[in-house]
Structure 1
């Protein structure tokens, strides 16, 4: 068997087909005038692929066979695009030539003719077929795909190969491709031609090896006073144009963190297949939530510290059937009512901290609202979502949160609300921190029984529990242990179901000192 050089995929296929290769070489099989052949693997005249015909003669000037097809038309085809259809192979005597012109291109050792073994694809067909190759190359990551671009056909196959993604612990698809410096950003135009099926892009400038660079201004740009002096240096290189991102038509995940943008970049919102859009601290990027209509399949929308983002929560209703996570924290120009999100069937997490123009009242949440919610962070402008306005209103607020927590136990987990710093009911008696005023509220649970209490967040600094569920008729061992743990946390404020007044607090403190 002649010694040939091949890449890793050649080796993989040849290792499985080595008996066929040896049989092919020993037979010395090749084509001759009058043979019936089948055309395959054409890239321009694709309508001829699969057509059968007969060899007329070998045209030495162009190194091609003249093939007469069934429509009586003659075409000149390269030898590598011809194969013998499944049929008995003509036996030859030892040393007999099959009459091939001496100038004809000799087939490599791994080019097994189709028909040597019926229904068995040849190595040549696999290596040269741009329809089969993407199915094989799809098992490689993006770096290996770039290394597999060894010839024209393989480059075309890589262009048709969807780039696989990796999955993180929280189940969101994330890529291993990170754009963290100028060189990587400038290479995106070439990359969009080499890997147009790329599904994820990450611009991350908050990780160790990233190096920030200046990006070309968008539409309606303004002079940004927030840009660092390094980026305003006259000797800095020209800004990088990132509009080539629009060439990745199959993007499913787009994340941009810490990049200084200025103006509107509409090409960032024109991906109909996008599932995850993650923006964080992008300077003066201007856009409106109404543009979400261009991304109907979006599942996760995270726009943190988007100070120039405008629109209303009602604009997100175009994603009602698909949206699972919504994060718009500190996007201060957004308005709307929390009720707009109540009937989203897939919504699991909401984060609206610092969105001061969003209003609502959690007391208006009904039992069928936010059915699958697991996490909810609300601004102070939503009644019951931020700081507690007064001790008197707190029971109503906690009962509203109780409605949500009964639907999904993870809501309000490891979370506390505090009495507003502006409340006149607050006081400071200058005592040890373990005896400070219990100004926070939290949920407690004994098995399936829920309640809430005031606490100063120090062990032994909790008030008595305000139970919302009745005591179970059958006291299990688990319930007894968890209840005892709750009771043990009540010492200094024993007998108080709400924070004591300043006078009551001083009296209790003096009593404890006397003990």
Structure 2
């Protein structure tokens, strides 16, 4: 009966739905009647309707609200995981209608409202003054209506035309996913990581290209028990030490690229970041990918630390790790001439099968000898693993240009090596 009713609600035109409801109501007897005289629809309660509506897209639920019972059921409905996107005035008006008709909406995405339309959301607290003056005569939409959706599980703010601080947007006790990007020139929201205390169940945090995002990643500790993914990239005002997140038991993905976060990769211990599968750190972290060493002698300890992290967490994706010697280092030189690309002043990880090591190489791939940190695997020659390892090892050895050198040669040794090749 439920499946048949759902099909009818989904497929019948409005007029036919109303006719059917009126007809069923007329058939009902004064004494309540039996199954044969009582409408199947009338026998369903609001909770059952709410359950049925939960299988429909939001637009179909809005169309199915044919009487008071169905309207009440829609208000109680937990709307499916469909993403409702607001990208123009019409969509905004739909969202406004849903605030009372469908407050159980769980996923909302506030997007750009269109270029050159002179439409914006109302300014928040402490707005950028010049932007506020420039847009003073624009049509303004009330962003606070979003507070009606108290069951939100996912909120995305993607280049929405906003200006100032909107702390109320971080007051969702059931929120699981938060995505904010403010790369568009019309988007000037001010955020602070301390606002995350209002979303205690958050699992995923995605903050990208936020010029006005401030705060210390230590503020994420309020999410220690729930957070699984943290992506804070190109947010230059975000500070802190990445090790403040080391004891998060569920943290699988951590990307802090292009932030002002610091730390030391050598401090990562065996019991730190136990669930981690992805790690991207800014070059302000000592030994992070892209880090600039001041001395050649500093690199070995860092490479060994990265190796240790990788070995303790085989699923961790750091195979593309590299660092290089700073041009301000006393060890740095240009080689034969400034156009020479063979100076091996980059250090990177090397893999052959399950065997890990590191080596110095140039931008063009001219490398020193590999410093293996794993022993040569004792595999049978006939096994496919052994064949793959030998093939990879042969490829690695074929790129060695500076034979006998396990770290960059001096400038004199380099010039001599190049002349003899």
The TM-score normalised by the length of structure 1 is 0.69
TM superposition shift of 1:432: 10
Matches within 5 A, 1:40-439: 55=31, 82-84=32-34, 112-113=36-37, 123-125=40-42, 129-165=45-81, 175=83, 177-205=84-112, 213-224=119-130, 232=134, 236-281=137-182, 283-356=187-260, 358-385=261-288, 386-389=290-293, 390-406=295-311, 407-429=313-335, 435-439=341-345
> Helix, strand or coil for the counterpart of 2:351?
strand
> Helix, strand or coil for the counterpart of 2:61?
helix
Q: Structure 1 residue 468 and structure 2 residue 370: aligned?
A: no
Q: Which has the larger radius of gyration?
A: 1
1 CA distance for matches of 2:379 and 2:305?
28
Is the alpha carbon distance of 1:182 and 1:210 closer, same or farther for their aligned partners in structure 2, counting shifts above 3 Å?
A: farther
TM superposition shift of 1:440: 2.5
Q: 5+ unaligned residues in a row in structure 1: which ranges?
A: 1-5, 14-24, 33-54, 56-81, 87-111, 115-121, 167-174
Is the alpha carbon distance of 1:422 and 1:31 closer, same or farther for their aligned partners in structure 2, counting shifts above 3 Å?
A: same
Asked whether the equivalents of residues 180 and 210 of structure 1 are also in contact (C-alpha less than 8 Å), the reply is no
Q: Deviations 1:177-217 (Å, cap 9, x if unpaired)?
A: 221223323442212222211111112339x9997732211
The CA RMSD measured in Å over matched residues stands at: 3.2
1 CA distance for matches of 2:351 and 2:254?
24
Higher relative contact order (CA 8 A, sep 6+): 2
TM superposition shift of 1:239: 2.1
TM superposition shift of 1:402: 1.4
Asked whether the equivalents of residues 336 and 415 of structure 2 are also in contact (C-alpha less than 8 Å), the reply is no
Q: Which residue of 2 aligns with 1:44?
A: none
Q: 5+ unaligned residues in a row in structure 2: which ranges?
A: 13-23, 381-385
Matches within 5 A, 1:497-508: 497-508=406-417
Is the alpha carbon distance of 1:435 and 1:493 closer, same or farther for their aligned partners in structure 2, counting shifts above 3 Å?
A: farther
Q: Which has the higher helix share?
A: 2
Q: Deviations 1:354-388 (Å, cap 9, x if unpaired)?
A: 322x3311111111111111222222322112423
Asked whether the equivalents of residues 6 and 52 of structure 2 are also in contact (C-alpha less than 8 Å), the reply is no
Q: Which residue of 1 aligns with 2:20?
A: none
